[in-house]
Amino acid sequence: MPAKTTAFDLFRTTDDHEELRSVVRSLVTEKITPYAAEVDAESRYPQEAHDALLATDLYAAHVPEEYGGAGADALAVAIIIEEVARGCVSSSLIPAVNKLGSMPVQLGGNEEIKAKYLSALAGGRGFSYGLSEREAGSDTASMRTRAVRDGDDWVLNGVKTWITNAGVSDFYTVMAVTDPDGKRGNNITAFVVEKGDEGFTFGEKERKLGVKGSPTRELFFENCRIPGDRIVGEVGEGLKIALRTLDHTRVTIAAQAVGVAQGALDYARDYVKERMQFGKRIADFQAIQFMLADMGMKLEAARQLTYVAAAKSERSDEDLGYFGAAAKALASDTAMAITTDAVQLLGGAGYVQDHPVERMMRDAKITQIYEGTNQIQRLVMGRALLRG
């Protein structure tokens, strides 16, 4: 007879998940972390990580097996992103953004569009997500990008901003207003735009505080003609699909935050065990031990909430929106606190580029901002609590 599942099994990862963690950690140590400082210093795309992830089916592990992917569950994807972020946050945006960009297709696309684009993604053609605009960040429903029907086609005009891995990805899920006079929120449609489409171009790379290895650019649409079969879902369903996507993918940002926090804690812990002051290791001072204890405690709380949210994502639970927002907010706030404390533990050494914690602190900051600021996450949670 199969072993009986108990409530305690719900509070630990499976052996398969831990085996996956071990595989990813070894890969990151050997082929990703050694290039992290160079990627940051040169603000260049982490091609070494791209190649390593693609070669090991970790590039877009969420893609179902029927489309050529690994069919990894949401918790497995979170672990992959966590472990990559532990060594290089810019590199962790490769699997994270591939899921973000393609999740609308997975959630709302018909079988034809799924087969075409998810299969291509599994084969190494990246996917990005085009929702935000400069005047429509948190208020996504106020976007100005327009799509006008022309025969069987649609013609897009407008600008999308803060697009991660823009210029590298081959495909872009883009939200555009298709009925300017329609009801707010029900007048937006999702389209897949391909990198080579005429009238589709990219802006210059943004000069950023962190995650410098992941290019962030604007998307420009000037009479960009899209075939009608590139609509994701139904006309007018775009914003609903976009927000459902974020319910799932905020979990990946939480995982990213947990990963960078773990990397910073690991490095700081090893440093204080070696650093000598007043004739003994600074790790032997109670003040240092208390800092480490708080860092470890906060990190584990964030990790557990992230894993619970990942399980809810896999099941598409009704309360996923609340838990995805909670995991993202807690994990990213925790990451910012832990990376800042890691810099403090190294003292002056933590403030220079000879050690990775200053990069980790810079990289951690964006997790509090993208895929919805943490103020927006608190709005999501507050409204859910008031609904009971």
Catalytic site positions: 371
Residues 252, 99 contacting (CB under 8 angstroms): yes
DSSP letter (8 states) at residue 349: G
Q: Which residue has the tokens 């990219």?
A: 202
Burial 259-295 (b: 16+ CB within 10 A, else e): bbbbbbbebbbebbeeeeeeeeebbeeeebeebbeeb
Burial 161-173 (b: 16+ CB within 10 A, else e): bbbbbbbbbbbbb
User: Of how many residues is the chain composed?
Assistant: 388
HSE, CB side, 13 Å, CA atoms: give it for residue 261: 29
> Which is it for the CA torsion 190, 192, 198, 202, positive or negative?
positive
Secondary structure class of 45 (helix, strand, coil): coil
Residues 164, 128 contacting (CB under 8 angstroms): yes
Distance CA 377, CA 248 (A): 13
Burial 205-238 (b: 16+ CB within 10 A, else e): beeeebbbbbbbbbbbbeebebeeebbbbebbbb
Secondary structure class of 86 (helix, strand, coil): helix
